[in-house]
């Protein structure tokens, strides 16, 4: 994409982003990806016999959970499906990591392989495209498009930037507020990225960064901080993403109680704000400090151009009022889910229908921007999760792991807490789907809690709170992949900033487990007893 006017927001729509040139290492990874994936698949499917599978074949069952799974399906079927599942899992991860082929194509391939190998039936595999969280994402894109088409999202963001963004530092702080507020309304992180991308790209241009050869620390910082805050903002609310809702549903099913909107927000909102502010400090003071010239606008009349854009919106119109009222209504229903019992997906469904109504609605279908390639990628992630669930590979693996280490049922709670939260947050380095991580690690946390006789909520909920930490590498999430295409930062930039924030988040989660979560009654010895 050739930028005719770097201050024209319309040039930064998702579909108009340029395809960035890959570096030498990335090109080598892409070339080696297919061969590595094929080798991994063949090794796990036909060559390598895993120790815990061999022990099962020999009748030396690793645990009560493994024994139950083994008895349910029999030795031959159980071991073979697990081998195939592990092979598909390894091959998919390699293809996603190396970006050898488009992500959605990897998803389509893994779906059909799981069908053809018999790990999943056609009905189970294909049905993942209709998963409730998929529908929530689609409806969220409809609602996000409504905000964009009416101009309400642009008006709000521009107003906040013009009102409080008097200098480079306050511009960044304004985006923290914008991300927090949008996260309460929008359940798709990619939708938030699509809304904010044109605004922070224009601001980056104003401060002298247009990507590629024209990168500077202001551009690196504003894009990477927004990537961080888009994800962190989602972690503050159970409706912040479909993966949060899925995690809450898994936990609710295990404890026969619901994890409500207000409960999640009370636990995570302070935690999220602290992390966002720490991200701001790390970016501005450590990784991407701004020299004097980057603290001032580089394009003459840049902020005046933003003011002109704001003035072009004119007075608040009827469609914007309707859009804002509908979002407030949706948020109200989400926040009171404990009273009426209507799911977040159903609420978003009704909201999207109202928004699309002919004559009386707010947005036309042709104006809705849904990235279907990302939906296909998500469907593959859900299918992979369904395969892991069908083969019980995560449960078997964790039980085998504990038994192999000789860890009994008297292990201290905080050892389990450190282990599970650490695995959850750092698993984001190799997984490309929050949903997949949720489907794997939340059930593992539930199983570990049951195995060691501690409350399910005390381990599973802190693990679920770490779902959204997917900002270190470009393949870790859809917003990460999207913003990487702006070419405003390098792989090294995003890794050093992201890994620092990931470690910081884990440490804060541990501290919260001993303090705030304990006060709320999430972790043991709580005095407030919320959960």
Query: In the predicted model, is pLDDT for residue 3 greater than 60?
Result: no
209 or 63: which carries more pLDDT confidence?
A: 209
**Tokens, residue 450:** 């049951």
Q: What is the SS3 assignment for 471-520? A: CCCHHHCHHHHHHHCCCCCCHHHHHHHHHHHHHHHHHHHHHHHHCHHHHH
Task: Give residue-wise pLDDT tens across range 276-308.
Answer: 999 999 988 989 887 776 666 665 556 676 677
Q: Check residue 228 and give its pLDDT.
A: 92
The region of weakest confidence among 52-56, 327-331, 375-379 is 52-56
Q: What is the mean pLDDT of residues 312-331?
A: 83
481 or 424: which carries more pLDDT confidence?
A: 424
Q: Which residues contact 255 (CB under 8 A, 6 or more apart)?
A: 456, 457
**Tokens, residue 202:** 């224009």
Based on C-alpha coordinates, what's the Rg of the chain?
23
Domain boundaries in the chain? 132-228+280-367
CB atoms within 10 A of CB 123: 8
CA atoms of 283 and 400, how far apart (whole Å): 41
Q: What is the mean pLDDT of residues 177-206?
A: 78
CA atoms of 166 and 220, how far apart (whole Å): 20
The region of weakest confidence among 220-224, 254-258, 285-289, 501-505 is 254-258
Q: DSSP letters of 307-350?
A: HHHHHHT-S--HHHHHHHHHHHHHHHHHHTHHHH---HHHHHHH
Q: Which of 7-16, 231-240, 378-387, 521-530 has the highest mean pLDDT?
A: 231-240
74 conformational bin, left if phi > 0, alpha if psi -120 to 50, beta if neither? left
Query: In which residue are the tokens 């704000």 written?
Result: 273
Q: pLDDT tier at 273 (50, 70, 90 boundaries)?
A: very high
Q: Check residue 466 and give its pLDDT.
A: 93
The answer to whether 104 touches 85, Cβ cutoff 8 Å, is: no
Q: Which of 159-168, 212-221, 344-353 has the highest mean pLDDT?
A: 344-353
Q: What is the mean pLDDT of residues 331-357?
A: 81
Q: DSSP letters of 122-134?
A: HHHHHGGGG-HHH
**Tokens, residue 496:** 């050093």
Q: Check residue 26 and give its pLDDT.
A: 67
Query: In the predicted model, is pLDDT for residue 452 greater than 60?
Result: yes
Q: pLDDT tier at 512 (50, 70, 90 boundaries)?
A: very high
Give, in order, the Cα–Cα distances in Å from 480 to each of 100, 196, 235, 308, 416.
17, 13, 16, 30, 30
Give, in order, the Cα–Cα distances in Å from 210 to each of 6, 254, 487, 488.
7, 49, 9, 7
Q: Check residue 508 and give its pLDDT.
A: 94
Q: pLDDT tier at 399 (50, 70, 90 boundaries)?
A: low
Q: Which of 114, 14, 33 lies closest to 385 in space, CA to CA?
A: 114
Q: Which residues contact 137 (CB under 8 A, 6 or more apart)?
A: 187, 188, 242, 375, 378
Q: Name the percent of the chain lying above pLDDT 90.
A: 11
Q: How many CA atoms lie within 13 A of 341 on its CB side?
A: 1
Task: Give residue-wise pLDDT tens across range 134-182.
Answer: 787 788 778 877 877 787 777 777 777 777 766 778 888 888 888 888 8
Q: Check residue 505 and give its pLDDT.
A: 95
CA atoms of 499 and 479, how far apart (whole Å): 17
507 or 240: which carries more pLDDT confidence?
A: 507
The answer to whether 175 touches 195, Cβ cutoff 8 Å, is: no
Q: What is the mean pLDDT of residues 403-407?
A: 67
Give, in order, the Cα–Cα distances in Å from 519 to each of 171, 307, 342, 446.
35, 46, 29, 21
Q: Check residue 64 and give its pLDDT.
A: 47
Cβ-in-10-Å burial (0-12, 13-18, 19+) of 415 comes to exposed
3 or 412: which carries more pLDDT confidence?
A: 412
Q: Check residue 422 and give its pLDDT.
A: 92
Q: Name the percent of the chain lying above pLDDT 70.
A: 79
Query: In which residue are the tokens 């917003």 written?
Result: 479
Q: Check residue 296 and give its pLDDT.
A: 64
Q: Check residue 510 and give its pLDDT.
A: 92
Q: Check residue 527 and give its pLDDT.
A: 43
Query: In the predicted model, is pLDDT for residue 375 greater than 50?
Result: yes
Instruction: Give the mean pLDDT of the chain.
Output: 77
Q: Check residue 63 and give its pLDDT.
A: 44
Query: In the predicted model, is pLDDT for residue 230 greater than 50?
Result: yes
Task: Give residue-wise pLDDT tens across range 40-91.
Answer: 888 888 887 655 544 444 444 444 444 444 444 444 334 677 788 888 888 8
Task: Give residue-wise pLDDT tens across range 94-117.
Answer: 887 777 888 788 888 889 999 998
Q: Which of 25-29, 357-361, 371-375, 500-504 has the highest mean pLDDT?
A: 500-504
Q: pLDDT tier at 398 (50, 70, 90 boundaries)?
A: low
């Amino acid at each position: 994409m050739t930028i005719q006017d770097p201050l024209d927001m319309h040039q930064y729509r998702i579909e108009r982003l340029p395809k960035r040139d890959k570096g030498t290492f990335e090109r080598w990874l892409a070339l080696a990806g297919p061969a590595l994936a094929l080798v991994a698949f063949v090794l796990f499917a036909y060559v390598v016999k895993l120790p815990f599978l061999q022990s099962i074949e020999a009748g030396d069952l690793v645990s009560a959970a493994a024994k139950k799974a083994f008895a349910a399906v029999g030795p031959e079927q159980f071991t073979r499906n697990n081998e195939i599942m592990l092979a598909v899992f390894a091959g998919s991860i390699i293809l996603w990591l190396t970006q050898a082929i488009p992500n959605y194509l990897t998803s389509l391939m893994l779906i059909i392989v799981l069908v053809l190998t018999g790990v999943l039936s056609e009905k189970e595999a294909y049905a993942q495209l209709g998963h409730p969280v998929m529908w929530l994402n689609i409806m969220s894109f409809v609602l996000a498009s409504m905000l964009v088409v009416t101009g309400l999202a642009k008006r709000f963001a521009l107003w906040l930037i013009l009102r409080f963004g008097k200098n480079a530092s306050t511009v960044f702080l304004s985006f923290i507020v914008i991300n927090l507020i949008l996260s309460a309304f929008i359940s798709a992180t990619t939708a938030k990225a699509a809304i904010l991308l044109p605004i922070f790209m224009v601001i980056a241009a104003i401060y002298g960064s247009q990507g590629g050869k024209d990168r500077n620390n202001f551009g690196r910082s504003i894009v990477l901080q927004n990537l961080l805050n888009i994800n962190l903002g989602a972690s503050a609310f159970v409706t912040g993403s479909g993966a949060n809702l899925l995690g809450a549903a898994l936990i609710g099913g295990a404890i026969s109680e619901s994890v409500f909107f207000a409960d999640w927000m009370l636990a995570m909102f302070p935690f999220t704000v602290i992390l966002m502010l720490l991200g701001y400090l790390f970016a501005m003071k450590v990784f991407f400090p701004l020299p004097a010239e980057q603290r001032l606008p580089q394009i003459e009349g840049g902020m005046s151009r933003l003011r002109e854009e704001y003035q072009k919106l004119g007075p608040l119109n009827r469609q914007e009022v309707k859009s804002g009222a509908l979002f407030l209504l949706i948020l109200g229903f989400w926040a009171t889910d404990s009273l009426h019992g209507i799911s977040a997906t159903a609420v978003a469904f009704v909201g999207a229908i109202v928004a699309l109504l002919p004559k009386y609605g707010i947005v036309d279908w042709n104006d809705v921007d849904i990235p279907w390639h990302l939906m296909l990628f998500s469907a593959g992630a859900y299918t992979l999760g369904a395969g892991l669930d069908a083969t019980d590979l995560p449960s078997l693996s964790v039980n085998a792991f504990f038994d192999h280490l000789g860890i009994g049922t008297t292990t201290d709670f905080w050892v389990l807490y450190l282990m599970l939260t650490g695995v959850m947050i750092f698993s984001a380095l190799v997984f490309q789907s929050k949903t997949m991580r949720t489907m794997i690690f939340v059930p593992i946390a539930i199983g570990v809690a049951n195995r060691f006789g501690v409350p399910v909520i005390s381990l599973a909920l802190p693990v679920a709170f770490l779902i959204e930490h997917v900002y270190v590498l470009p393949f870790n999430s859809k917003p990460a992949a999207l913003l990487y295409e702006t070419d405003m930062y390098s792989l090294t930039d995003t890794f050093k900033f992201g890994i620092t924030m990931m470690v910081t988040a884990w440490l804060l989660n541990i501290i919260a487990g001993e303090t705030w979560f304990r006060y709320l009654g999430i972790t043991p010895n709580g005095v407030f007893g919320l959960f």
